[in-house]
Structure 1
Amino acid sequence: MTTILLVPGAWITAAAYEPFTQALKAEGHDIRYASYPSLDPPSLSIQDCQADTEAIAAVLRPLVEEGRDVLLVLHSYAGMPGAAAAVGLSRSQRAKEGKCGGVFGLVFIGAFVVPEGLSCAGLQGGNLPPWILLDQPSPHLNIASDPVRNFGADMDPDSVKLLMAELRPHATLAFTSSQPHPAWADKEFEGRSAFIVTANDVAVPKEAQFGMMAATQKTWIVKEIEAGHCSPFFTKKQETVALIQEIINEIPGV
């Protein structure tokens, strides 16, 4: 059985992904979830990308040490700390050490693929997009303007209502701090990194998604879905589950 560790995008809490996780469970997958401190932070003292990486790794590492084969599914901002959390935990590396289990693949969904040392803002010329409203609701936090348009324009009203109820402020430092070393850059993840392109995405446009992949100079397993930023987890959840299964089938040795 594959264990899928889902890591959320910025601003979005676990409950919003429930329709998607239930669809994955229905296909027989073991589903786990990892959040991080920059999402609706209780404190503004530790909420950079490194702290988020450590929080995800604290969930991931015990799964690997139990001998589980883990697929990381990373949405939006999660592509940054999620990829870093997998470093040193690949299944192939652990097998060489005589250990069972490990991360056998990374799946990015409309997600950020950022080189080590660069921030999310740095990737975009040093500035965050204008739809990210800085210092709202208070200094060092941010929210998204017009989340219906940016995240859920192609979603049904009930799904939009659920998503809107689960949006929270995010720590700005997460977007302006440096990317720790990402696992997709390592040889252990050659042929094991995949990207589901959200073709109708307003928040992270399709062109930007392909551009980030191209900049890595790595080979990616690429799938595309006619979806906005969050609809893969709501109105397009069955198609997304099917694409994840296709990816699992294409990763060597699975």
Structure 2
Amino acid sequence: MTAPTLVLVGGGWHVPASYSKLSNALKEAGYDVHVPRHPSTDEARPPINDLATDTEALRKYVGDLVEEGRTVVVAMHSYGGQVGTNALWDMDLKTRARQNLSGGISRLIYMCAFALPEGGSMIQKVEEMGDGYLMPIAFDFADDGSVVPRDPQTILIGPSDDEEVDPYLATLVRWNGKCMHDSITHCAWRHIPVTYLSTTQDFTIPVHYQESMVDVIRGQGVEVQAIQIESGHCPNLTKTNEVVDAINNAIGWTPTK
């Protein structure tokens, strides 16, 4: 059986190296793994790239794979959900088949990620949930618009004395805070099967945020496969095997190794 092609779409502050533990575990399970880097994580001061450039970059990256005739699974973490939702709206298998084209995206997997409707943004969701006042407390916004978490371990991972935490945090970079305010214009989850991996101990996107996003999707008549993981915002690091198992379950893949 051909190895599944999986594109892992990272969150804010994260670069491909941040996902090395998960990508290696997925490769061991037989996946052909791709982890593109968002232009908005290029650490430019002041920031130049935003959701629009991240969307364009991901659309081209996944589009190139699809044009090769591949069936692609897209797993998105945190802000990566906003990028993937915005970028991949017409790449589903059915749409391409109607155009007599092979390849396409078979499933979107949101990993504690922003799954928003058209016009939605990260900030809008935070304000909707009544937590807008917490943004400057949790995040350090520089005068040039770039941003970093004030306490990345607490916000992103949670309490842990695991020796892997410090090297993981060292991979994180300064990010364009404008991306939090940018709204999406397209909505891929309307046409591509959806799995949502919610994280029950998440301080960055609390689980009730995640559940409300799933409720919105279901309210639009879209079926969502929901899977819970007991972790903070980075299960790719702290619950790697559980994430791999969840992805296997979502697409019906039996590991080859």
- For 1:79, the equivalent position in structure 2 comes to 81
Letter of the 2:240 counterpart = K
- Corresponding residue for 1:242? 245
1:249 Cα deviation after fit: 2.1
Partner of 1:205: 206
Kept in 2: contact 1:94–1:100 (CA 8 A):
yes
Deviations 1:84-124 (A, max 9, x none): 21111111111111111110110000111122122211222
Identity between Structure 1 and Structure 2 (%): 30
Q: Distance in 1 between matches of 2:34 and 2:180?
A: 25
Displacement after TM superposition at 1:48 (Å)? 2.4
1:41·1:47 contact (CA, 8 Å) conserved in 2? no
With over 3 angstroms needed to count, the CA separation of the structure-2 counterparts of 1:21 and 1:133, relative to structure 1, is same
Counterpart-to-counterpart distance in 2, 1:45 and 1:22: 31
Deviation at 1:180, TM superposition (A): 2.3
Kindly indicate whether the alpha-carbon contact (under 8 Å) linking 2:18 and 2:171 is maintained by their aligned counterparts in 1. yes
Could you tell me which residue of structure 1 aligns to residue 195 of structure 2?
Answer: 194
Please point out which of 162, 182, 185 is paired with 2:187: 182
After TM superposition, the structure 1 = structure 2 runs for residues 1-254 of structure 1, keeping only pairs within 5 Å, are 1-42=3-44, 44=46, 46-125=48-127, 127=132, 129=135, 130-135=137-142, 138-184=143-189, 186=190, 188-189=191-192, 192-216=193-217, 217=219, 218-230=222-234, 232-249=235-252
Q: Please list the CA deviations of residues 160-198 of structure 1 after superposition, one character each: whole Å capped at 9, or x if unmatched.
A: 1121111111101111111121201x2x32xx1110001
8 Å CA contact 1:34–1:59 kept in 2: the answer is: yes
Counterpart-to-counterpart distance in 1, 2:228 and 2:250: 12
TM-score scaled by length of structure 2: 0.89
Q: Which secondary structure does the structure 2 equivalent of 1:38 belong to?
A: helix
Report the RMSD for the aligned CA atoms in angstroms.
1.7
User: Contact conserved, 2:111 with 2:198, CA < 8 A, in 1?
Assistant: yes
Q: Deviations over 1:174-228 (max 9, x none)?
A: 11111121201x2x32xx1110001111111111100111123232110011111
